Amino acid sequence: MFTNVIVRKPGQSMVNGITTANLGKPDYEKALKQHDNYVEALKQCGVNVTVLEADEKYPDSCFVEDTALLTKKCAVITNPGAGSRKGEEKEIHEVLKGFYDNIEVIKEPGTIEGGDIMMVGDHFYIGLSARTNKEGAEQMIEYLQKYGYTGSTVPFEKFLHLKTGVSYLEHNNLLATGEFIDHPMFKDFNIIEISEEESYAANCIWVNDYVLVPKGFDEAKNAIAEAGYRIIEVDVSEFRKLDGGLSCLSLRF
Ligand code: CIR
């Protein structure tokens, strides 16, 4: 169960965020409304939501997931691999001091972003991506072991982050698309397959037996509902324009 969630409002500078999506620039007013709805959806799942003010210095700072890994026993501050995002983690470090006694920090030359880390019970899968290097993953695994957890690395090719293509929904159910559907590391999960056309919906979040699903992906929504979850649809079209999904917008713990 999660009890807390941290989010950060998008700033107007979000229009200069990193993107490969080719979907045009986000509409800021619309993004603010969508962000408010996202917060409401989280509250519906029974969590306390801390909403941080927008930070105009960092165009991608609403994607707080990338700045830390939060577990029951410790927080680990990441070191973002994207140049324009370096520094976001320092702001989050200060915020997390209000929630955690045990805070560890990933150091250069290690880089890692939270979107590459998937929690499955006490085990953490860490995707090796353009943002997360081997050194960053190794440092993370060492910290996890210090607190009694385990970690393993997952090589992949086509996605921005590991969780762009795969999401754990608890109960051994894994949403997967593309190369993750048959990935040998995930062969023991019940795979809920997401088609190429709906691949954006492979990034969903489980929050206390609700699943937040991006609006407009009916095939994915039906498959998840069939697996027994209560669904909350959330429109995040403006964040999609920056390659961001539902998980990226929050830290859940
Ligand atoms: C970036 O490229 O860093 C942002 N535009 C999107 C970050 C998405 N975060 C995530 O998947 N965890």
> pLDDT per residue over 115-142, tens digit each?
999 999 999 999 999 999 999 999 999 9
Q: Give the whole-angstrom CA distance, residue 242 versus residue 60.
A: 8
The pLDDT, as a whole number, for residue 57 is 98
Which residues does ligand 1 sit against, CB inside 6 Å? 17-19, 60, 63, 65-66, 82, 85, 115, 160-161, 164, 242-245, 247-248
Question: In this structure, what CATH number is given to the domain that contains residue 13?
Answer: 3.75.10.10
Q: Kindly state whether residue 152 falls inside one of the protein's structural domains.
A: yes
Would you call 216 exposed, middle or buried from its count of C-beta atoms within 10 A (0-12, 13-18, 19+)? middle
Tell me, in angstroms, the distance from the centre of ligand 1 to residue 60's CA. Answer: 7
Tell me, in angstroms, the distance from the centre of ligand 1 to residue 162's CA. Answer: 11
Host domain of residue 99: 4-163+236-252
Tell me, in angstroms, the distance from the centre of ligand 1 to residue 245's CA. Answer: 8
Q: Kindly state whether residue 57 falls inside one of the protein's structural domains.
A: yes
Q: Kindly state whether residue 27 falls inside one of the protein's structural domains.
A: yes
Looking from the CA of residue 164, the nearest atom of ligand 1 is: 11
Catalytic annotation, pick one of 62, 161, 183, 204 = 161
- pLDDT tens column, 7-31: 999 999 999 999 999 999 999 999 9
How many structural domains compose the chain?
1
Q: Kindly state whether residue 248 falls inside one of the protein's structural domains.
A: yes
The pLDDT, as a whole number, for residue 245 is 96
Q: Kindly state whether residue 28 falls inside one of the protein's structural domains.
A: yes
Q: Which residues of the chain have pLDDT under 70?
A: none
